[in-house]
C-alpha cells in the first residue's frame, strides 16, 4: 500500500512538472489567414511530394541461374534506368547503353522512344554472345549489344523463382457441403450423395449400395473424402445453418428515384455455425462408424491428412469455439477411436490464424508453433507418440512467420522479431535453424525492418532494410553464412529532403506496468517551431490481430500531411496488440474497450516530458473500423485526456460486428462484458468533441453499428457531428471525409475556423 501511494504521488508530481514545463511555452494558435496558408501548403505538398524518393526498392530478375540479375530504378520525373548486377564480381553497371538502346528500339518499332523512359518490361541476358532479349509492349526483340541493332524475336521460355514457400490450409470452406470426392484413388469405386444419403457403387457399373438412410434434404450427409488406399471414405452428417442477414439502404442510385434495400448474409457473435458430425465408411464390410469426437461446429469442416506410412489413420485440426482450445486429433478409421496429438488449452485465447503446422510425412513428425510458453515459438512434435521432441526456437522473442521448410536438410527458414536487445522489438529479421534447434543462422543484422528475396537456388539473397527514420538500403548477401557481398542500392532522397521534409521520430516509453516498452512514431510539421506548444493527434488502430505502427521508411502519407496543418501526429502500438509476448497480447482478452489506451496516454505524456512543445491539454485521435471504435471509446472512457475524436465506420458494439473477429478476442458465449464495453452503452459519457463518419453501404462493419451510437447520443442529449456518405463501403470517408476530419481538428484543437469552401 505504501509503495502504491508513493507511486501515485510520483505520478502526480511528474504530471505537475509536465504541466509546469508546458505552461512556460505559448500555445500554437495560428490566425485564420495563417491556417489557410497551412492548408494551401499541405495541398501543394500532397500534390508534389509523391515519388520524390528514389531507389527505395530493388526487384531482382535473376539471369543465367544465379550469375546476376537486372532491376529497374525509378528516378526523378518518372524517368528510369536499368541496372545489371554481376554477382560473381560483386559489381553493378547499366544493363545496356540506354541512348543506343532507345535508338535501336525506335528503329525496329518505327516510333520514338526516349532513353530515360524506355517502356521495357523484361530482359533476358545471353549466356553467351551479345544478343539481349528485350520485351517492349508485349513483344520481344533481339538486340545486339555490339552494334545495337534489334530484330523481332520469339517469346522466350521464362523460368520463375523456385522458392518453396509454405502453403497451409487448416479448414475447408465450402459452398455445397453435400458435394464430395466421387472416384476413389484406385478408380474402383464411385461415391455420391442421393437424397441426402451416402451411396457407393463399383466404378463403371450400376451395382450400388447405401451406407446411410437417415439423411434428409434438411440434414444431409456430405463432404466425402477418400483415404489414399481407397479402403475408407470419410463424411459428415451435416446440420446446415442459415446465416442471418444485415441490410443496407442505398439512397442515391443514379438510375433510380427510389432507394434500394441491399441484403447481405452476415454472422454476428453468438450466431450458430453449420455442424459436421464425422463418420467413417468402411468399404471392406460396407459398414459405417461414428468417429469418437465432438460435432465439428466451428470454422467450416476440417482438412484431413492421411498418414503416409499407414493410411488407416488420419489427422485433423480442431479449434474449439471460444478460441481457448486447439487440438490436432488422430482418427483410427477402422475403429473410429481418436487420440490427441496436440491438445493446447488457455485461460485467455489461442490466435488460430497465427498457428503454423507443417507435417513431415516421411518421419511422422510435425512442426508446430504455439504461444503456450509465453512467446510464439516453434516445436518439433513426434506424431506417433503425441509428444514434443524438442523446442526448435527458445528465448523471449517471437517467430513472426515461416518462409520455407527444407525436409531433406531438416532446416526451417523463418522470420522473427525481438531477438536483438536495444532494438525495436517489432523489427523483422530473417533466420535459418535446424529442426533440433541447433545452428541458428542470422541472415540479417542491421538495426531495422528487413525484407528478403532469394535467388532461384537460394545461394544469394537481397536484403532491403529501413526504419521510419532510416532510408532503405538494399544489400546482396551469401546465404550459407549471411556474408555481405555488396551494397546494391541506397535510397536517393535529395529531392525529397529539398522540399523540407523531416524524418519521423521513433519513440518508446514504458507501459502501464512500468516495465514493458511501448513503441510509436512522431510526425512534425515542416515549419515546426519548438517554442510553441502543439496539439497532438493520434492515428489509432488497436485491433488485436496485428501491430500497426510503420516499421519501414515512411516517405509520405496522411499523418505527415495532417501535421502540416499545425499538429504533432503520432501512431502507437499499446498493450493488447500482437507481435509481442503472450502476456502483452492478452490485455485485449474480453477487453477490447481497453484498446491499450492507458499505455498510449503514458506514451504521449512521456513524449511531452521530453519535448515541452507537446501540448497534453489538446489531444485528439482518429481511426477507422476497429480504430473507429477505439477513437470514440477514448472520449468515452478517458475524457480527462482525449478532447476530440474522428471515428470512421467503427465497430462500436462487438455484438453487432462480424462473428469470427469479435469472438476471437471477446470470447464465446456472448457475455455481459460485450454490453459493458460497447460505445453504444457508454455513449452518455461523452464529454469531448466527436465526429462520426459512416458509409451507408459498409459490408465490413454494418452501418447500424454507428447509427446505434447516434441514437444513444441523441437520447443522452449530446452534441456531436455526423457524416453519412451515400453508397460508400468500409472507409475513412474518402477524400471528402478526410477533408472533414482535418477541418474538425483544426476547429476543435487549434481553435481556428477552417477555410470556408462554399465561397471558393
Distance CA 543, CA 576 (A): 8
- The pLDDT value given to residue 452: 97
- The pLDDT value given to residue 204: 85
Domain coverage including residue 282? 172-304
Tell me whether residue 379 is in a domain.
Answer: no
pLDDT for residue 178 is more than 60:
no
**Percent of the chain predicted with pLDDT > 90:** 91
Average pLDDT over residues 272-286: 96
Tell me whether residue 447 is in a domain.
Answer: no
Tell me whether residue 212 is in a domain.
Answer: yes
Tell me whether residue 548 is in a domain.
Answer: yes
Name the strand (E) or helix (H) holding 745.
Answer: helix 734-745
- Give DSSP secondary structure letters for 5-71: HHHHHHHHHHHHHHHHHHHTS-B----HHHHHHHHHHHHHHHHHSTT-SBS-----EEETTTTEEEE
Distance CA 585, CA 240 (A): 34
Name the strand (E) or helix (H) holding 405.
Answer: strand 398-406
Distance CA 220, CA 217 (A): 6
147 and 212 housed in the same domain: no
Residue whose C-alpha is closest to residue 301's, from 270, 279, 281: 279
Residue 413: strand, helix, or coil = strand
Return the C-alpha cell found at 450: 528487413
Q: What is the pLDDT of residues 144-157, one digit of tens each?
A: 999 999 999 999 97
The DSSP code for 528 is -
128 and 177 housed in the same domain: no
pLDDT for residue 8 is more than 70:
no
- The pLDDT value given to residue 13: 53
Neighbours of 643 (CB within 10 A): 20
Q: What is the pLDDT of residues 393-441, one digit of tens each?
A: 999 999 999 999 999 999 999 999 999 999 999 999 999 999 999 999 9
137 and 252 housed in the same domain: no
Q: What is the pLDDT of residues 716-743, one digit of tens each?
A: 999 999 999 999 999 999 999 999 999 9
Residue 744 main-chain phi, psi, to 5 deg? -60, -45
Tell me whether residue 378 is in a domain.
Answer: no
15 pLDDT tier (thresholds 50, 70, 90): low
Average pLDDT over residues 56-74: 96
Residue whose C-alpha is closest to residue 355's, from 378, 329, 331: 378
Q: What is the pLDDT of residues 289-345, one digit of tens each?
A: 999 999 999 988 999 999 999 999 999 999 999 999 999 999 999 999 999 999 999
Distance CA 729, CA 681 (A): 25
Domain boundary among 88, 122, 153: 153
Residue 129 main-chain phi, psi, to 5 deg? 85, -165
Average pLDDT over residues 235-240: 97
Domain boundary among 304, 334, 354: 304
Choose the weakest-confidence range: 153-162, 338-347, 539-548, 595-604: 153-162
Average pLDDT over residues 62-88: 96
For residue 442, CA distances in Å to 416, 430, 535 come to: 10, 6, 42
Name the strand (E) or helix (H) holding 742.
Answer: helix 734-745
Average pLDDT over residues 737-750: 98
178 and 254 housed in the same domain: yes
Return the C-alpha cell found at 69: 540479375
122 and 238 housed in the same domain: no
286: left (phi over 0), alpha (psi -120 to 50) or beta: left
- The pLDDT value given to residue 387: 98
Tell me whether residue 541 is in a domain.
Answer: yes
564 and 684 housed in the same domain: yes
496 pLDDT tier (thresholds 50, 70, 90): very high
Return the C-alpha cell found at 278: 464425422
Distance CA 533, CA 567 (A): 10
116 and 189 housed in the same domain: no
If one counts the domains in the chain, the total is 3
Tell me if 278 sits within 8 A of 266, measured CB to CB. no
670-707 in b/e form (b: 16+ CB < 10 A) is: beebbeebbbbbbbeebebbbbbbbbbbbebbbbbbbb
Choose the weakest-confidence range: 17-31, 338-352, 372-386, 469-483: 17-31
Distance CA 117, CA 113 (A): 7
Distance CA 196, CA 222 (A): 7
- What's the CATH number where 637 sits? 3.40.50.1820
Tell me if 428 sits within 8 A of 551, measured CB to CB. yes
642 and 671 housed in the same domain: yes
Residue 311 main-chain phi, psi, to 5 deg? -70, 15
The DSSP code for 575 is B
185 and 149 housed in the same domain: no
Tell me whether residue 358 is in a domain.
Answer: no
Return the C-alpha cell found at 536: 497532438
Tell me whether residue 239 is in a domain.
Answer: yes
Question: Residue 209 forms beta bridges with which residues?
Answer: 200
115 and 256 housed in the same domain: no
Positions of E strands within 421-493: 429-434, 441-442, 449-454, 460-467, 470-478, 484-490
- pTM score, whole prediction: 0.93
- The pLDDT value given to residue 299: 85
Mean predicted lDDT score pLDDT of the chain: 94
Average pLDDT over residues 498-503: 95
Return the C-alpha cell found at 102: 532507345
Beta strands 377-382 and 365-370 are antiparallel
pLDDT for residue 462 is more than 70:
yes
- Give DSSP secondary structure letters for 134-196: EEETTEEEEEETTTTEEEEEPPPP-PPP--------SEE--S-TT----B-TTSSEEEEEETT
116 and 186 housed in the same domain: no
The residues, ordered by sequence, that sit 6+ positions from 37 with a Cβ below 8 Å of its Cβ are none
Handedness of CA 180, 183, 188, 190 (dihedral sign): positive
For residue 111, CA distances in Å to 58, 65, 106, 362 come to: 29, 34, 5, 59
Name the strand (E) or helix (H) holding 607.
Answer: helix 597-610
165 pLDDT tier (thresholds 50, 70, 90): very low
- The pLDDT value given to residue 7: 46
- The pLDDT value given to residue 5: 53
180 and 148 housed in the same domain: no
Average pLDDT over residues 642-654: 98
Distance CA 382, CA 335 (A): 22
Domain boundary among 254, 279, 304: 304
Distance CA 565, CA 37 (A): 9
Residue 417: strand, helix, or coil = strand
Positions of E strands within 649-708: 689-695
Amino acid at each position: 500500500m505504501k509503495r502504491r501511494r508513493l507511486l501515485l504521488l510520483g505520478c502526480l508530481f511528474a504530471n505537475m512538472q509536465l504541466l509546469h514545463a508546458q505552461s512556460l511555452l505559448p500555445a500554437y494558435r495560428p490566425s485564420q489567414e495563417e491556417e489557410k496558408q497551412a492548408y494551401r501548403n499541405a495541398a501543394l505538398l500532397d500534390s508534389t511530394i509523391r515519388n520524390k524518393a528514389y531507389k527505395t526498392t530493388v526487384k531482382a530478375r535473376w539471369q543465367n541461374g544465379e550469375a546476376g540479375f537486372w532491376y529497374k530504378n525509378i528516378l526523378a520525373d518518372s524517368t528510369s534506368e536499368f541496372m545489371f548486377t554481376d554477382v560473381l564480381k560483386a559489381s553493378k553497371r547499366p544493363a545496356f547503353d540506354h541512348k543506343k538502346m532507345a535508338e535501336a528500339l525506335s528503329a525496329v518499332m518505327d516510333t520514338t522512344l526516349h532513353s530515360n523512359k524506355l517502356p521495357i518490361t523484361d530482359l533476358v541476358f545471353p549466356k553467351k554472345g551479345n544478343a539481349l532479349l528485350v520485351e517492349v509492349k508485349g513483344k520481344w526483340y533481339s538486340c545486339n549489344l555490339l552494334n545495337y541493332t534489334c530484330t523481332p524475336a520469339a517469346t522466350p521460355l521464362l523460368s520463375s523463382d523456385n522458392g518453396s514457400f509454405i502453403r497451409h490450409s487448416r479448414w475447408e470452406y465450402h459452398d455445397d457441403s453435400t458435394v464430395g470426392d466421387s472416384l476413389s484413388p484406385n478408380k474402383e469405386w464411385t461415391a455420391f450423395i442421393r437424397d441426402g444419403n451416402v451411396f457407393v457403387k463399383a466404378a463403371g457399373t450400376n451395382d450400388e449400395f447405401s451406407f446411410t438412410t437417415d439423411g434428409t434434404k434438411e440434414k444431409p450427409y456430405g463432404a466425402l473424402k477418400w483415404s489414399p488406399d481407397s479402403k475408407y471414405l470419410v463424411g459428415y452428417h451435416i446440420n446446415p445453418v442459415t446465416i442471418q442477414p444485415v441490410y443496407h439502404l442505398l439512397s442515391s442510385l443514379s438510375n433510380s428515384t427510389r432507394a434500394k434495400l441491399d441484403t447481405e448474409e452476415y454472422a454476428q457473435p453468438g450466431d450458430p455455425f453449420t455442424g459436421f458430425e464425422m463418420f467413417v465408411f468402411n468399404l471392406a464390410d460396407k459398414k459405417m462408424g461414428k468417429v469418437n469426437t465432438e460435432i465439428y461446429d466451428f470454422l467450416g469442416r476440417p482438412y484431413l491428412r492421411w498418414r503416409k506410412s499407414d493410411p488407416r489413420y488420419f489427422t485433423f485440426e480442431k479449434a474449439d469455439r471460444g478460441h481457448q482450445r486447439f487440438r490436432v486429433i488422430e482418427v483410427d478409421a477402422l475403429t473410429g477411436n481418436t487420440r490427441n496429438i496436440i491438445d493446447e488449452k488457455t485461460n485467455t485465447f489461442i490466435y488460430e490464424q497465427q498457428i503454423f503446422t507443417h507435417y513431415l510425412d516421411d518421419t511422422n513428425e510435425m512442426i508446430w508453433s504455439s504461444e503456450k510458453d509465453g512467446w510464439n515459438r516453434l516445436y518439433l512434435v513426434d506424431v506417433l507418440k503425441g509428444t514434443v521432441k524438442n523446442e526448435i526456437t527458445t528465448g523471449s522473442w517471437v517467430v513472426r512467420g515461416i518462409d520455407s521448410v527444407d525436409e531433406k536438410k531438416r532446416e526451417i527458414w523463418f522470420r522473427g522479431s525481438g531477438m536483438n536487445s536495444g532494438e525495436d522489438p517489432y523489427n523483422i529479421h530473417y533466420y535459418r535453424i535446424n529442426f533440433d534447434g541447433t545452428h541458428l543462422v542470422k541472415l540479417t543484422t542491421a538495426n531495422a525492418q528487413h525484407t528478403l528475396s532469394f535467388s532461384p537456388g537460394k545461394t544469394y539473397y537481397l536484403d532491403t532494410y529501413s526504419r521510419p527514420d532510416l532510408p532503405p538500403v538494399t544489400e546482396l548477401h551469401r546465404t550459407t553464412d549471411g556474408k555481405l557481398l555488396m551494397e546494391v542500392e541506397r535510397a536517393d532522397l535529395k529531392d525529397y529532403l529539398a522540399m523540407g521534409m523531416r524524418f519521423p521520430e521513433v519513440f518508446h516509453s514504458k507501459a502501464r506496468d512500468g516495465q514493458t516498452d511501448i513503441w510509436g512514431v512522431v510526425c512534425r510539421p515542416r515549419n515546426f517551431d519548438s517554442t510553441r506548444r502543439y496539439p497532438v493527434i493520434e492515428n489509432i488502430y488497436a485491433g488485436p490481430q496485428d501491430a500497426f505502427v510503420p516499421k519501414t521508411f515512411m516517405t509520405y502519407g496522411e499523418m505527415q500531411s495532417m501535421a502540416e496543418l499545425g499538429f504533432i501526429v503520432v501512431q502507437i502500438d499499446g498493450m493488447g496488440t500482437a507481435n509481442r509476448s503472450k502476456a502483452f497480447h492478452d490485455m485485449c482478452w474480453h477487453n477490447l474497450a481497453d484498446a491499450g489506451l492507458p499505455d498510449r496516454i503514458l506514451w504521449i505524456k512521456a513524449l511531452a516530458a521530453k519535448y515541452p512543445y507537446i501540448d497534453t491539454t489538446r489531444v485528439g485521435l482518429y481511426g477507422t473500423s476497429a480504430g473507429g471504435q477505439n477513437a470514440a471509446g477514448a472520449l468515452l472512457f478517458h475524457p480527462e485526456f482525449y478532447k476530440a475524436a474522428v471515428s470512421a465506420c467503427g465497430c462500436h458494439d462487438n455484438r453487432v460486428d462480424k462473428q469470427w473477429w469479435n469472438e476471437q478476442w471477446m470470447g464465446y458465449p456472448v457475455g455481459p462484458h460485450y454490453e459493458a464495453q460497447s460505445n453504444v452503452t457508454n455513449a452518455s459519457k461523452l464529454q469531448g468533441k466527436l465526429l462520426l463518419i459512416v458509409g451507408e453501404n459498409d459490408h465490413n462493419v454494418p452501418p447500424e453499428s454507428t447509427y446505434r451510437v447516434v441514437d444513444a447520443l441523441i437520447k443522452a442529449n449530446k452534441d456531436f457531428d455526423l457524416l453519412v456518405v451515400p453508397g460508400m463501403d468500409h472507409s475513412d470517408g474518402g477524400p471528402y471525409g478526410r477533408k472533414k476530419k482535418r477541418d474538425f481538428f483544426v476547429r476543435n484543437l487549434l481553435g481556428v475556423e477552417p477555410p470556408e469552401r462554399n465561397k471558393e
